[in-house]
Amino acid sequence: MTAALHRLRLPITIALLAALPGCVSIDPAALSTLPGDLMAMPGTIRDIGSRPNSASDIIRKVDRTLALIATVQRYAELTTVQKQRVEQVVTRRYDTMVAKEKKSLAPRYANRKAEVQKRGAARVAEARKQNPSAAARVETETKKEAAQVDMEWDKAAKSSVAKNYGTDFAVPVKNPDGKTVVAFASVKDSGVSVANSSYEVEGTTASLNSSKKISHSGRTYAVLDEKVGL
């Protein structure tokens, strides 16, 4: 049995037991031997141990269990340059996610913006006929309304990203020891915040991809499938 399967043997068993017909929710005490940092995730533990309510819920519980990887130990402190590299990766990938969500929301918000601009253009044209001095004011109001739609559009896209991917990310990093190491970063209103240290995680580098999530200090980080050098 590989180290990764050995690590996940108990949580997988728990998820499958919870999935069996007639099973009730599992006592959290049964989860006390979960490895690494997984015990710092009470929400995940409660979800895995609770009784499933449908076939799709069974699949979701098993998938969520298999996706979890725990940190093992601190690997190294990041230099300023290294933190900048991590920040750049997370910023670029996050912006790409937001752009993708904005595109999917385009039918709704692009139409709203077009209506605002169309209505504003008609108002400006009318103002120029009846009160030319008011035309500039109407034009300014129209631009503000269009900008408001853009703000709502951007906010909706970011909200969708947060729901689907979260705002905490783990970036795989190359290292001379060939270990599975990640750097953690979070997207905030003020920008991307990068943790000071990188951490070694369980499993192999090959298994560390975008389908995985890493548990660390009570938070869940989505893995980005892009490496940076340390």
Say yes or no to pLDDT of 159 above 80.
yes
Query: Looking at 45-54, 118-127, 131-140, 168-177, which range is the least confident one?
Result: 45-54
User: pLDDT per residue over 90-108, tens digit each?
Assistant: 999 999 999 999 999 999 9
Residue spans per domain, the chain: 3-72, 75-85+166-211+218-229, 100-162
Query: In the prediction, which pLDDT does 54 show?
Result: 63
Q: How far apart are CA 40 and CA 153, in angstroms?
A: 35
Query: In the prediction, which pLDDT does 91 show?
Result: 96
- pLDDT band at residue 8 using 50, 70 and 90 as cut-offs: very low
Query: In the prediction, which pLDDT does 26 show?
Result: 43
Say yes or no to pLDDT of 45 above 50.
no
- The full DSSP string for the chain is --HHHHHHHHHHHHHHHHHSTT--PPPGGGGTT--TTGGG-HHHHHHHHSPPSSHHHHHHHHHHHHHEEEEEEEEEEPPHHHHHHHHHHHHHHHHHHHHHHHHHHHHHHHHHHHHHHHHHHHHHHHHHHH-HHHHHHHHHHHHHHHHHHHHHHHHHHHHHHHHHT-SEEEEEEE-TT---EEEEEEEETTEEEEEEEEEEESS-GGG-STT-EEEETTEEEEEPS--EE-
Segment 128-143 shows an average pLDDT of: 86
Query: In the prediction, which pLDDT does 56 show?
Result: 54
Query: In the prediction, which pLDDT does 134 show?
Result: 82
